[in-house]
Structure 1
Protein backbone atom coordinates (compact mmCIF):
# COMPACT_ATOMS: atom_id res chain seq x y z
CA UNK A 1 0.00 0.00 0.00
CA UNK A 2 1.33 3.42 -0.82
CA UNK A 3 0.23 6.90 0.17
CA UNK A 4 0.72 9.98 -1.94
CA UNK A 5 0.05 13.44 -0.57
CA UNK A 6 -0.95 16.34 -2.78
CA UNK A 7 1.79 18.82 -3.51
CA UNK A 8 1.29 22.54 -3.32
CA UNK A 9 3.45 25.61 -3.50
CA UNK A 10 3.15 27.41 -0.12
CA UNK A 11 3.97 30.72 -1.78
CA UNK A 12 1.11 30.43 -4.26
CA UNK A 13 -2.05 32.37 -3.45
CA UNK A 14 -5.43 32.52 -5.13
CA UNK A 15 -5.87 35.09 -7.89
CA UNK A 16 -7.26 38.26 -6.33
CA UNK A 17 -10.45 38.51 -8.48
CA UNK A 18 -11.40 34.90 -7.67
CA UNK A 19 -10.78 35.33 -3.96
CA UNK A 20 -12.75 38.58 -3.85
CA UNK A 21 -15.66 36.91 -5.65
CA UNK A 22 -15.69 34.13 -3.05
CA UNK A 23 -15.48 36.70 -0.25
CA UNK A 24 -18.44 38.64 -1.66
CA UNK A 25 -20.59 35.52 -2.00
CA UNK A 26 -19.77 34.38 1.53
CA UNK A 27 -20.59 37.77 3.06
CA UNK A 28 -23.93 37.92 1.25
CA UNK A 29 -24.86 34.41 2.38
CA UNK A 30 -23.94 35.15 5.99
CA UNK A 31 -25.84 38.44 5.99
CA UNK A 32 -28.96 36.69 4.67
CA UNK A 33 -28.88 34.22 7.58
CA UNK A 34 -28.97 36.88 10.33
CA UNK A 35 -32.30 38.49 11.20
CA UNK A 36 -32.54 41.96 12.77
CA UNK A 37 -33.95 40.36 15.92
CA UNK A 38 -30.81 38.18 16.21
CA UNK A 39 -28.68 41.29 16.74
CA UNK A 40 -31.15 43.40 18.71
CA UNK A 41 -32.46 45.53 15.83
CA UNK A 42 -36.15 46.23 15.12
CA UNK A 43 -37.56 44.11 12.27
CA UNK A 44 -38.48 47.14 10.15
CA UNK A 45 -40.85 47.20 7.21
CA UNK A 46 -40.68 46.41 3.50
CA UNK A 47 -37.75 44.02 3.62
CA UNK A 48 -37.33 42.66 0.12
CA UNK A 49 -34.77 40.02 1.12
CA UNK A 50 -34.23 37.98 4.29
CA UNK A 51 -31.53 38.89 6.74
CA UNK A 52 -29.75 42.14 7.49
CA UNK A 53 -29.33 45.07 5.16
CA UNK A 54 -25.83 46.19 4.24
CA UNK A 55 -26.19 49.41 6.19
CA UNK A 56 -27.18 47.42 9.27
CA UNK A 57 -24.05 45.28 9.05
CA UNK A 58 -21.95 48.41 8.60
CA UNK A 59 -23.62 50.00 11.63
CA UNK A 60 -23.05 46.93 13.82
CA UNK A 61 -19.41 46.62 12.70
CA UNK A 62 -18.68 50.32 13.07
CA UNK A 63 -17.60 50.79 9.44
CA UNK A 64 -18.80 53.00 6.64
CA UNK A 65 -21.72 51.83 4.52
CA UNK A 66 -19.82 52.56 1.31
CA UNK A 67 -16.78 50.61 2.49
CA UNK A 68 -18.85 47.58 3.46
CA UNK A 69 -20.81 47.75 0.20
CA UNK A 70 -17.57 47.72 -1.77
CA UNK A 71 -16.31 44.79 0.34
CA UNK A 72 -19.45 42.80 -0.41
CA UNK A 73 -19.22 43.72 -4.09
CA UNK A 74 -15.75 42.20 -4.27
CA UNK A 75 -13.95 45.45 -4.98
CA UNK A 76 -10.17 45.60 -4.40
CA UNK A 77 -10.13 47.34 -1.01
CA UNK A 78 -7.92 46.76 2.01
CA UNK A 79 -9.34 45.27 5.20
CA UNK A 80 -7.48 45.00 8.51
CA UNK A 81 -7.90 42.08 10.86
CA UNK A 82 -9.52 44.41 13.42
CA UNK A 83 -12.17 45.55 10.94
CA UNK A 84 -12.85 42.03 9.67
CA UNK A 85 -13.17 40.84 13.26
CA UNK A 86 -15.84 43.50 13.75
CA UNK A 87 -17.62 42.34 10.58
CA UNK A 88 -17.49 38.72 11.73
CA UNK A 89 -19.06 39.70 15.06
CA UNK A 90 -21.78 41.68 13.34
CA UNK A 91 -22.64 38.62 11.24
CA UNK A 92 -22.54 36.31 14.31
CA UNK A 93 -19.89 34.08 12.74
CA UNK A 94 -18.52 31.18 14.75
CA UNK A 95 -14.80 30.37 14.91
CA UNK A 96 -14.77 28.23 11.76
CA UNK A 97 -16.70 30.83 9.76
CA UNK A 98 -14.45 33.62 11.05
CA UNK A 99 -11.31 31.77 9.94
CA UNK A 100 -12.95 31.17 6.56
CA UNK A 101 -13.73 34.88 6.26
CA UNK A 102 -10.15 35.82 7.14
CA UNK A 103 -8.68 33.45 4.56
CA UNK A 104 -10.91 34.86 1.85
CA UNK A 105 -9.89 38.37 2.89
CA UNK A 106 -6.20 37.39 2.66
CA UNK A 107 -5.63 37.83 6.40
CA UNK A 108 -3.72 35.49 8.74
CA UNK A 109 -5.85 33.12 10.82
CA UNK A 110 -3.17 31.91 13.21
CA UNK A 111 -3.30 28.43 11.71
CA UNK A 112 -0.65 26.37 9.90
CA UNK A 113 -2.69 26.29 6.69
CA UNK A 114 0.19 27.62 4.60
CA UNK A 115 2.61 24.87 5.66
CA UNK A 116 2.15 22.10 3.13
CA UNK A 117 3.74 18.73 3.89
CA UNK A 118 5.00 17.17 0.63
CA UNK A 119 4.42 13.58 1.77
CA UNK A 120 2.41 11.55 4.26
CA UNK A 121 4.22 11.31 7.57
CA UNK A 122 5.64 7.78 7.98
CA UNK A 123 4.19 7.60 11.49
CA UNK A 124 0.68 8.00 10.08
CA UNK A 125 1.27 5.12 7.67
CA UNK A 126 2.48 2.86 10.49
CA UNK A 127 -0.61 3.65 12.55
CA UNK A 128 -2.87 3.06 9.55
CA UNK A 129 -1.36 -0.35 8.86
CA UNK A 130 -1.63 -1.32 12.51
CA UNK A 131 -5.39 -0.75 12.73
CA UNK A 132 -6.51 -4.25 11.77
CA UNK A 133 -10.31 -4.24 12.19
CA UNK A 134 -10.87 -0.50 12.44
CA UNK A 135 -11.49 1.06 9.02
CA UNK A 136 -8.95 3.84 8.53
CA UNK A 137 -7.73 5.95 5.63
CA UNK A 138 -5.37 8.82 4.91
CA UNK A 139 -7.06 11.57 2.93
CA UNK A 140 -6.46 15.09 1.74
CA UNK A 141 -8.82 18.02 2.23
CA UNK A 142 -10.70 17.25 -1.01
CA UNK A 143 -11.62 13.81 0.40
CA UNK A 144 -9.26 12.00 -1.99
CA UNK A 145 -8.42 8.64 -0.37
CA UNK A 146 -4.62 8.50 -0.52
CA UNK A 147 -4.11 5.30 1.46
CA UNK A 148 -6.34 2.88 3.37
CA UNK A 149 -6.36 -0.38 5.28
CA UNK A 150 -8.34 -3.55 4.33
CA UNK A 151 -11.15 -2.79 6.79
CA UNK A 152 -11.84 0.60 5.16
CA UNK A 153 -11.74 -0.97 1.70
CA UNK A 154 -14.25 -3.65 2.73
CA UNK A 155 -16.66 -1.16 4.31
CA UNK A 156 -16.49 1.66 1.74
CA UNK A 157 -15.15 0.10 -1.50
CA UNK A 158 -16.60 2.74 -3.80
CA UNK A 159 -14.21 5.29 -2.32
CA UNK A 160 -11.08 3.20 -2.90
CA UNK A 161 -11.30 0.90 -5.90
CA UNK A 162 -10.85 1.38 -9.62
CA UNK A 163 -14.59 0.74 -9.97
CA UNK A 164 -15.35 3.86 -7.94
CA UNK A 165 -17.70 6.39 -9.60
CA UNK A 166 -15.89 8.11 -12.47
CA UNK A 167 -12.72 6.22 -11.52
CA UNK A 168 -12.11 8.38 -8.45
CA UNK A 169 -10.96 7.22 -5.04
CA UNK A 170 -12.82 9.96 -3.20
CA UNK A 171 -15.27 9.48 -0.33
CA UNK A 172 -17.37 12.58 -1.02
CA UNK A 173 -17.62 11.78 -4.74
CA UNK A 174 -18.69 8.22 -3.90
CA UNK A 175 -21.30 9.39 -1.39
CA UNK A 176 -22.79 11.83 -3.90
CA UNK A 177 -22.76 9.79 -7.10
CA UNK A 178 -23.34 6.15 -6.11
CA UNK A 179 -27.06 5.33 -6.60
CA UNK A 180 -29.09 5.23 -3.38
CA UNK A 181 -30.03 1.58 -3.87
CA UNK A 182 -26.46 0.36 -3.50
CA UNK A 183 -24.71 3.22 -1.70
CA UNK A 184 -23.05 1.78 1.44
CA UNK A 185 -23.15 5.17 3.20
CA UNK A 186 -26.63 5.37 4.76
CA UNK A 187 -26.93 8.62 6.74
CA UNK A 188 -25.93 10.84 3.84
CA UNK A 189 -28.75 13.35 4.41
CA UNK A 190 -27.27 14.19 7.80
CA UNK A 191 -23.63 13.99 6.83
CA UNK A 192 -23.39 15.53 3.36
CA UNK A 193 -24.12 19.12 4.48
CA UNK A 194 -21.37 18.83 7.09
CA UNK A 195 -18.90 17.23 4.66
CA UNK A 196 -19.48 19.95 2.07
CA UNK A 197 -19.15 22.57 4.81
CA UNK A 198 -15.76 21.14 5.79
CA UNK A 199 -14.75 21.17 2.12
CA UNK A 200 -15.75 24.82 1.71
CA UNK A 201 -13.75 25.79 4.80
CA UNK A 202 -10.71 24.06 3.28
CA UNK A 203 -11.34 25.68 -0.12
CA UNK A 204 -10.69 29.14 1.30
CA UNK A 205 -6.97 28.25 1.37
CA UNK A 206 -7.04 27.00 -2.25
CA UNK A 207 -9.29 29.43 -4.16
CA UNK A 208 -8.14 29.64 -7.76
CA UNK A 209 -5.92 26.54 -7.74
CA UNK A 210 -6.65 24.57 -10.93
CA UNK A 211 -6.87 21.15 -9.26
CA UNK A 212 -9.44 22.46 -6.77
CA UNK A 213 -11.42 24.47 -9.32
CA UNK A 214 -11.63 21.50 -11.71
CA UNK A 215 -12.69 19.18 -8.88
CA UNK A 216 -15.48 21.51 -7.77
CA UNK A 217 -16.64 22.20 -11.32
CA UNK A 218 -16.88 18.49 -12.08
CA UNK A 219 -18.71 17.72 -8.84
CA UNK A 220 -21.23 20.47 -9.56
CA UNK A 221 -21.76 19.01 -13.02
CA UNK A 222 -22.47 15.45 -11.83
CA UNK A 223 -24.38 16.18 -8.62
CA UNK A 224 -27.22 18.64 -8.21
CA UNK A 225 -27.20 17.88 -4.48
CA UNK A 226 -23.57 18.97 -4.20
CA UNK A 227 -24.24 22.11 -6.24
CA UNK A 228 -27.09 23.06 -3.90
CA UNK A 229 -25.02 22.48 -0.77
CA UNK A 230 -21.99 24.27 -2.20
CA UNK A 231 -24.00 27.35 -3.12
CA UNK A 232 -25.37 27.60 0.45
CA UNK A 233 -21.92 28.91 1.54
CA UNK A 234 -22.06 26.93 4.80
CA UNK A 235 -18.75 26.09 6.47
CA UNK A 236 -18.18 23.47 9.17
CA UNK A 237 -15.37 22.04 11.32
CA UNK A 238 -14.10 18.47 11.08
CA UNK A 239 -15.38 16.81 14.27
CA UNK A 240 -16.07 13.27 15.48
CA UNK A 241 -19.40 12.19 13.98
CA UNK A 242 -21.61 9.12 13.60
CA UNK A 243 -21.59 7.40 10.21
CA UNK A 244 -23.92 4.55 9.32
CA UNK A 245 -22.96 2.03 6.64
CA UNK A 246 -24.74 -1.02 5.30
CA UNK A 247 -23.49 -4.32 3.93
CA UNK A 248 -25.81 -6.85 2.39
CA UNK A 249 -24.25 -9.71 4.37
CA UNK A 250 -24.54 -8.20 7.86
CA UNK A 251 -26.86 -5.18 7.67
CA UNK A 252 -26.15 -1.80 9.26
CA UNK A 253 -22.81 -0.92 10.84
CA UNK A 254 -22.64 2.20 13.01
CA UNK A 255 -19.23 3.79 13.54
CA UNK A 256 -17.78 6.97 14.99
CA UNK A 257 -15.53 8.77 12.53
CA UNK A 258 -12.59 10.54 14.18
CA UNK A 259 -10.25 12.83 12.25
CA UNK A 260 -6.60 12.85 13.28
CA UNK A 261 -4.02 15.36 12.10
CA UNK A 262 -0.29 15.72 12.68
CA UNK A 263 1.72 18.92 13.17
CA UNK A 264 3.10 20.27 9.92
CA UNK A 265 0.69 18.32 7.70
CA UNK A 266 -2.48 20.42 7.45
CA UNK A 267 -3.38 19.07 3.99
CA UNK A 268 -3.42 15.43 5.11
CA UNK A 269 -5.44 13.74 7.84
CA UNK A 270 -6.30 10.25 9.01
CA UNK A 271 -9.91 9.18 9.51
CA UNK A 272 -10.56 6.22 11.80
CA UNK A 273 -13.92 4.47 12.19
CA UNK A 274 -14.54 2.93 15.62
CA UNK A 275 -17.60 0.65 16.02
CA UNK A 276 -20.27 2.13 18.26
CA UNK A 277 -21.37 -1.10 19.95
CA UNK A 278 -20.63 -4.81 20.31
CA UNK A 279 -22.87 -5.81 17.39
CA UNK A 280 -21.27 -3.18 15.17
CA UNK A 281 -17.83 -4.52 16.12
CA UNK A 282 -18.82 -8.10 15.30
CA UNK A 283 -20.31 -7.12 11.95
CA UNK A 284 -17.26 -5.06 11.08
CA UNK A 285 -14.97 -7.97 11.95
CA UNK A 286 -16.97 -10.25 9.65
CA UNK A 287 -16.86 -7.76 6.76
CA UNK A 288 -13.10 -7.32 7.20
CA UNK A 289 -12.59 -11.09 7.24
CA UNK A 290 -14.60 -11.46 4.01
CA UNK A 291 -13.29 -8.66 1.77
CA UNK A 292 -14.70 -10.23 -1.40
CA UNK A 293 -18.28 -10.24 -0.13
CA UNK A 294 -20.18 -7.60 -2.14
CA UNK A 295 -21.57 -4.62 -0.27
CA UNK A 296 -24.80 -4.58 -2.33
CA UNK A 297 -26.74 -7.33 -4.06
CA UNK A 298 -26.38 -5.75 -7.52
CA UNK A 299 -24.14 -3.45 -9.52
CA UNK A 300 -24.70 -0.50 -11.84
CA UNK A 301 -22.85 -0.44 -15.16
Structure 2
Protein backbone atom coordinates (compact mmCIF):
# COMPACT_ATOMS: atom_id res chain seq x y z
CA UNK A 1 0.00 0.00 0.00
CA UNK A 2 1.46 3.35 -1.05
CA UNK A 3 1.61 6.28 1.36
CA UNK A 4 2.85 9.11 -0.87
CA UNK A 5 1.98 10.73 -4.18
CA UNK A 6 5.39 9.71 -5.49
CA UNK A 7 4.85 6.06 -4.63
CA UNK A 8 1.32 6.14 -5.96
CA UNK A 9 2.49 7.58 -9.27
CA UNK A 10 5.34 5.09 -9.66
CA UNK A 11 3.01 2.18 -9.02
CA UNK A 12 0.39 3.48 -11.44
CA UNK A 13 2.87 4.13 -14.24
CA UNK A 14 4.57 0.77 -13.69
CA UNK A 15 1.23 -0.90 -14.45
CA UNK A 16 1.03 0.90 -17.80
CA UNK A 17 4.36 -0.39 -19.17
CA UNK A 18 4.55 -3.92 -20.55
CA UNK A 19 7.78 -5.99 -20.62
CA UNK A 20 7.81 -5.87 -24.41
CA UNK A 21 7.71 -2.05 -24.26
CA UNK A 22 11.16 -2.04 -22.63
CA UNK A 23 12.65 -5.07 -24.38
CA UNK A 24 12.02 -7.64 -21.64
CA UNK A 25 10.63 -11.12 -22.34
CA UNK A 26 6.99 -11.93 -21.60
CA UNK A 27 6.81 -14.97 -19.31
CA UNK A 28 3.01 -15.28 -19.28
CA UNK A 29 2.79 -15.73 -15.49
CA UNK A 30 2.04 -12.20 -14.30
CA UNK A 31 -0.60 -11.67 -11.64
CA UNK A 32 -0.75 -7.93 -12.26
CA UNK A 33 -0.41 -5.88 -15.47
CA UNK A 34 2.76 -4.05 -16.35
CA UNK A 35 6.26 -4.35 -14.94
CA UNK A 36 7.29 -5.93 -11.67
CA UNK A 37 9.11 -3.84 -9.08
CA UNK A 38 12.27 -5.86 -9.65
CA UNK A 39 12.16 -5.05 -13.36
CA UNK A 40 11.77 -1.31 -12.78
CA UNK A 41 14.67 -1.39 -10.32
CA UNK A 42 16.83 -3.26 -12.81
CA UNK A 43 16.00 -0.85 -15.64
CA UNK A 44 16.71 2.16 -13.40
CA UNK A 45 19.86 0.53 -11.99
CA UNK A 46 18.82 0.93 -8.38
CA UNK A 47 18.32 -1.70 -5.69
CA UNK A 48 14.98 -3.46 -5.40
CA UNK A 49 14.83 -2.50 -1.72
CA UNK A 50 15.32 1.19 -2.53
CA UNK A 51 12.64 1.11 -5.21
CA UNK A 52 10.26 -0.66 -2.81
CA UNK A 53 10.82 2.10 -0.25
CA UNK A 54 9.95 4.68 -2.92
CA UNK A 55 6.66 2.97 -3.77
CA UNK A 56 5.76 2.47 -0.12
CA UNK A 57 6.45 6.09 0.75
CA UNK A 58 9.31 5.27 3.12
CA UNK A 59 11.73 7.13 0.85
CA UNK A 60 10.42 10.49 -0.40
CA UNK A 61 13.45 12.42 -1.61
CA UNK A 62 15.21 10.57 -4.43
CA UNK A 63 18.07 12.28 -6.23
CA UNK A 64 17.74 13.84 -9.66
CA UNK A 65 19.80 10.96 -11.04
CA UNK A 66 17.28 8.44 -9.66
CA UNK A 67 14.33 10.44 -11.01
CA UNK A 68 15.92 10.57 -14.47
CA UNK A 69 16.57 6.83 -14.38
CA UNK A 70 12.99 6.09 -13.30
CA UNK A 71 11.64 8.38 -16.01
CA UNK A 72 13.56 6.40 -18.61
CA UNK A 73 12.58 3.04 -17.12
CA UNK A 74 8.87 3.96 -17.09
CA UNK A 75 9.01 5.56 -20.57
CA UNK A 76 7.72 8.91 -19.30
CA UNK A 77 7.33 11.73 -21.82
CA UNK A 78 8.41 15.28 -20.98
CA UNK A 79 5.19 16.09 -19.12
CA UNK A 80 5.30 12.83 -17.19
CA UNK A 81 8.92 13.46 -16.22
CA UNK A 82 8.10 16.99 -15.04
CA UNK A 83 5.19 15.63 -13.00
CA UNK A 84 7.48 13.05 -11.39
CA UNK A 85 9.93 15.78 -10.41
CA UNK A 86 7.17 17.93 -8.98
CA UNK A 87 5.67 15.29 -6.73
CA UNK A 88 9.16 14.32 -5.58
CA UNK A 89 9.62 17.90 -4.38
CA UNK A 90 12.44 18.62 -6.81
CA UNK A 91 10.94 21.73 -8.43
CA UNK A 92 9.70 24.86 -6.69
CA UNK A 93 5.95 24.89 -6.27
CA UNK A 94 3.98 28.10 -6.90
CA UNK A 95 2.73 30.15 -4.01
CA UNK A 96 -0.71 29.39 -2.66
CA UNK A 97 -3.36 31.32 -4.58
CA UNK A 98 -6.82 32.37 -3.54
CA UNK A 99 -9.88 30.70 -4.97
CA UNK A 100 -11.07 33.60 -7.15
CA UNK A 101 -9.57 34.01 -10.61
CA UNK A 102 -10.23 36.77 -13.10
CA UNK A 103 -9.52 37.21 -16.78
CA UNK A 104 -7.18 39.97 -17.89
CA UNK A 105 -9.38 42.51 -19.80
CA UNK A 106 -6.57 43.25 -22.26
CA UNK A 107 -6.24 39.56 -23.05
CA UNK A 108 -9.98 39.35 -23.73
CA UNK A 109 -9.86 42.43 -25.96
CA UNK A 110 -7.12 40.79 -28.01
CA UNK A 111 -8.99 37.47 -28.26
CA UNK A 112 -12.11 39.24 -29.56
CA UNK A 113 -10.11 40.40 -32.56
CA UNK A 114 -9.70 36.80 -33.69
CA UNK A 115 -12.79 36.41 -35.83
CA UNK A 116 -11.64 33.06 -37.24
CA UNK A 117 -10.04 31.66 -34.08
CA UNK A 118 -12.14 30.24 -31.23
CA UNK A 119 -10.46 30.89 -27.88
CA UNK A 120 -11.06 29.83 -24.28
CA UNK A 121 -9.33 31.12 -21.17
CA UNK A 122 -9.02 28.42 -18.51
CA UNK A 123 -8.16 28.83 -14.85
CA UNK A 124 -5.75 26.68 -12.91
CA UNK A 125 -8.48 24.06 -12.22
CA UNK A 126 -9.96 24.10 -15.75
CA UNK A 127 -12.62 26.65 -14.84
CA UNK A 128 -13.78 28.52 -17.95
CA UNK A 129 -12.91 32.14 -17.15
CA UNK A 130 -13.79 33.63 -20.53
CA UNK A 131 -14.46 32.85 -24.20
CA UNK A 132 -14.28 35.02 -27.26
CA UNK A 133 -17.33 35.37 -29.49
CA UNK A 134 -16.33 32.57 -31.83
CA UNK A 135 -15.41 30.37 -28.89
CA UNK A 136 -18.94 30.68 -27.53
CA UNK A 137 -20.31 29.82 -30.97
CA UNK A 138 -18.11 26.73 -31.37
CA UNK A 139 -18.68 25.47 -27.81
CA UNK A 140 -22.39 26.14 -27.19
CA UNK A 141 -22.47 23.84 -24.16
CA UNK A 142 -19.90 25.92 -22.25
CA UNK A 143 -20.34 29.19 -20.40
CA UNK A 144 -17.87 31.26 -18.37
CA UNK A 145 -18.04 30.00 -14.80
CA UNK A 146 -18.40 26.36 -15.76
CA UNK A 147 -15.64 23.81 -15.30
CA UNK A 148 -14.24 22.09 -18.38
CA UNK A 149 -13.42 18.82 -16.58
CA UNK A 150 -16.78 18.50 -14.84
CA UNK A 151 -18.58 19.36 -18.06
CA UNK A 152 -16.72 16.54 -19.83
CA UNK A 153 -18.06 13.91 -17.43
CA UNK A 154 -21.31 15.32 -16.08
CA UNK A 155 -22.91 17.03 -19.10
CA UNK A 156 -24.59 14.39 -21.33
CA UNK A 157 -24.49 16.68 -24.38
CA UNK A 158 -20.68 16.69 -24.33
CA UNK A 159 -20.52 12.99 -25.19
CA UNK A 160 -22.17 13.57 -28.54
CA UNK A 161 -20.19 16.78 -29.10
CA UNK A 162 -16.84 14.93 -29.30
CA UNK A 163 -16.37 12.49 -32.17
CA UNK A 164 -14.05 10.49 -29.87
CA UNK A 165 -15.26 11.20 -26.36
CA UNK A 166 -13.11 8.48 -24.78
CA UNK A 167 -9.91 10.06 -26.09
CA UNK A 168 -11.03 13.58 -25.15
CA UNK A 169 -11.95 12.44 -21.64
CA UNK A 170 -8.63 10.65 -21.13
CA UNK A 171 -6.72 13.74 -22.27
CA UNK A 172 -8.75 15.97 -19.93
CA UNK A 173 -7.98 13.75 -16.94
CA UNK A 174 -4.27 13.54 -17.79
CA UNK A 175 -4.15 17.32 -18.10
CA UNK A 176 -5.89 17.77 -14.76
CA UNK A 177 -3.42 15.44 -13.01
CA UNK A 178 -0.61 17.52 -14.51
CA UNK A 179 -2.21 20.65 -13.01
CA UNK A 180 -2.73 18.94 -9.67
CA UNK A 181 0.93 17.96 -9.54
CA UNK A 182 1.94 21.58 -10.05
CA UNK A 183 -0.45 22.86 -7.35
CA UNK A 184 -1.05 20.03 -4.87
CA UNK A 185 -2.44 22.33 -2.17
CA UNK A 186 -4.80 24.39 -4.31
CA UNK A 187 -8.31 24.29 -2.76
CA UNK A 188 -10.14 24.76 -6.06
CA UNK A 189 -8.28 21.84 -7.67
CA UNK A 190 -9.18 19.69 -4.66
CA UNK A 191 -12.82 20.74 -4.94
CA UNK A 192 -13.06 19.83 -8.64
CA UNK A 193 -11.22 16.56 -8.08
CA UNK A 194 -13.54 15.60 -5.24
CA UNK A 195 -16.68 16.43 -7.23
CA UNK A 196 -15.50 14.53 -10.30
CA UNK A 197 -14.43 11.49 -8.27
CA UNK A 198 -17.72 11.31 -6.37
CA UNK A 199 -19.93 11.95 -9.41
CA UNK A 200 -18.34 9.91 -12.20
CA UNK A 201 -17.03 6.36 -12.10
CA UNK A 202 -15.50 6.90 -15.54
CA UNK A 203 -13.46 9.79 -14.20
CA UNK A 204 -12.37 7.74 -11.18
CA UNK A 205 -11.21 4.89 -13.42
CA UNK A 206 -9.22 7.24 -15.67
CA UNK A 207 -7.73 9.01 -12.64
CA UNK A 208 -6.33 5.68 -11.45
CA UNK A 209 -4.24 5.41 -14.63
CA UNK A 210 -2.02 8.24 -13.31
CA UNK A 211 -1.47 9.71 -16.78
CA UNK A 212 -0.07 13.25 -16.52
CA UNK A 213 0.49 15.55 -19.49
CA UNK A 214 -0.23 19.15 -20.35
CA UNK A 215 -2.32 20.39 -23.20
CA UNK A 216 -0.38 20.53 -26.46
CA UNK A 217 -0.77 20.86 -30.20
CA UNK A 218 -3.48 18.36 -31.04
CA UNK A 219 -6.35 17.74 -33.45
CA UNK A 220 -9.94 17.61 -32.27
CA UNK A 221 -12.98 16.46 -34.20
CA UNK A 222 -16.17 18.05 -32.89
CA UNK A 223 -19.76 17.37 -33.93
CA UNK A 224 -21.35 20.80 -33.77
CA UNK A 225 -25.16 20.80 -33.53
CA UNK A 226 -25.51 23.61 -36.10
CA UNK A 227 -22.75 23.16 -38.68
CA UNK A 228 -21.79 19.52 -38.32
CA UNK A 229 -18.27 18.12 -38.12
CA UNK A 230 -15.39 20.46 -37.26
CA UNK A 231 -11.74 19.38 -37.44
CA UNK A 232 -9.67 21.82 -35.39
CA UNK A 233 -6.07 22.08 -34.28
CA UNK A 234 -5.53 23.19 -30.69
CA UNK A 235 -2.70 25.23 -29.23
CA UNK A 236 -2.32 26.11 -25.55
CA UNK A 237 -0.41 29.08 -24.14
CA UNK A 238 0.47 29.83 -20.52
CA UNK A 239 -0.64 33.27 -19.37
CA UNK A 240 2.44 34.82 -17.84
CA UNK A 241 0.50 37.58 -16.09
CA UNK A 242 -1.65 34.98 -14.29
CA UNK A 243 0.34 31.80 -13.48
CA UNK A 244 -1.81 28.70 -13.85
CA UNK A 245 -4.14 30.20 -16.43
CA UNK A 246 -4.10 28.85 -19.98
CA UNK A 247 -5.29 30.38 -23.23
CA UNK A 248 -6.55 27.62 -25.53
CA UNK A 249 -6.97 28.58 -29.18
CA UNK A 250 -8.29 26.54 -32.10
CA UNK A 251 -7.78 26.95 -35.82
CA UNK A 252 -8.74 25.24 -39.06
CA UNK A 253 -6.77 24.70 -42.23
CA UNK A 254 -7.70 27.22 -44.90
CA UNK A 255 -9.78 25.91 -47.76
CA UNK A 256 -11.43 23.20 -45.70
CA UNK A 257 -15.05 22.68 -44.80
CA UNK A 258 -14.20 23.49 -41.18
CA UNK A 259 -12.75 26.88 -42.16
CA UNK A 260 -15.98 27.67 -44.00
CA UNK A 261 -18.01 26.57 -40.98
CA UNK A 262 -16.00 28.83 -38.66
CA UNK A 263 -16.64 31.80 -40.93
CA UNK A 264 -20.35 31.04 -40.90
CA UNK A 265 -20.46 30.69 -37.12
CA UNK A 266 -18.44 33.87 -36.69
CA UNK A 267 -20.75 35.83 -38.98
CA UNK A 268 -23.86 34.57 -37.22
CA UNK A 269 -22.39 35.21 -33.77
CA UNK A 270 -21.41 38.77 -34.72
CA UNK A 271 -24.86 39.43 -36.14
CA UNK A 272 -26.56 38.05 -33.04
CA UNK A 273 -24.37 40.15 -30.80
CA UNK A 274 -25.26 43.29 -32.69
CA UNK A 275 -28.92 42.65 -31.89
CA UNK A 276 -30.18 41.44 -35.29
CA UNK A 277 -32.26 38.32 -35.67
CA UNK A 278 -31.05 35.58 -37.97
CA UNK A 279 -32.38 32.22 -39.00
CA UNK A 280 -30.69 29.10 -37.66
CA UNK A 281 -27.53 28.31 -39.65
CA UNK A 282 -27.88 25.90 -42.51
CA UNK A 283 -25.78 22.79 -42.42
CA UNK A 284 -22.72 23.03 -44.62
CA UNK A 285 -22.45 20.29 -47.25
Smaller-chain TM-score bracket: 0.7 to 0.9
Partner of residue 83, structure 2: 100
Q: Secondary structure at the match of 2:85?
A: helix
Q: How does 1:163-178 map to 2 (within 5 A)?
A: 168-178=145-155
The equivalent position to 2:260 in structure 1, one of 279, 287, 295, is 279
Which residue in 1 is equivalent to 2:25? Answer: 42
Give how far 1:68 is off: 0.9
The reply on whether 1:152 has 2:129 as its aligned counterpart is no
Displacement of 1:185 in angstroms is 4.0
Aligned to 1:15: none
How far off is 1:208 after superposition? 3.9
**DSSP 3-state at the match of 1:33:** coil
Q: How many residues align?
A: 268
Gaps of 5+ in 2: 281-285
Aligned to 1:253: 230
Higher relative contact order (CA 8 A, sep 6+): 1
User: How far apart are the structure 1 equivalents of 2:278 and 2:247?
Assistant: 25
- Kindly report the root-mean-square deviation, in angstroms, between the aligned alpha carbons of the 2 structures: 3.0
Structure 1 Cα separation of the partners of residues 142 and 95 of structure 2? 27
CA distance in 1, matches of 2:205, 2:279: 31
What is the match of residue 126 of structure 2? 143
> CA separation in 1, counterparts of 2:201 and 2:242?
32
Answer yes or no: is 1:188 the counterpart of 2:188: no
- 1:151, 1:287 within 8 Å by CA — same for their partners in 2? no
Where does residue 156 of structure 2 map in the other structure? 179
1:47 deviates by: 2.3
Q: 2:112 aligns with which of 91, 106, 129?
A: 129
Q: Is the 8 A contact 1:175 1:183 kept in 2?
A: no
**8 Å contact from structure 1 (residues 259, 270) kept in 2:** yes
1:114 to 90, 94, 113: 94
Shift of 1:199: 1.2
The residue matched to 1:157 in structure 2 has which SS? coil
Label 1:189 to 1:287 Cα distance change in 2 as closer, same or farther (>3 A): farther
1:186 Cα shift?
4.0
Question: Is there any run of 5+ residues in structure 1 with no aligned partner, and where?
Answer: 1-17, 162-167, 296-301
Q: Which residue of 2 aligns with 1:198?
A: 175
The alpha-carbon distance between structure 1 residues 132 and 41, as it changes in their structure 2 partners (threshold 3 A), is: closer
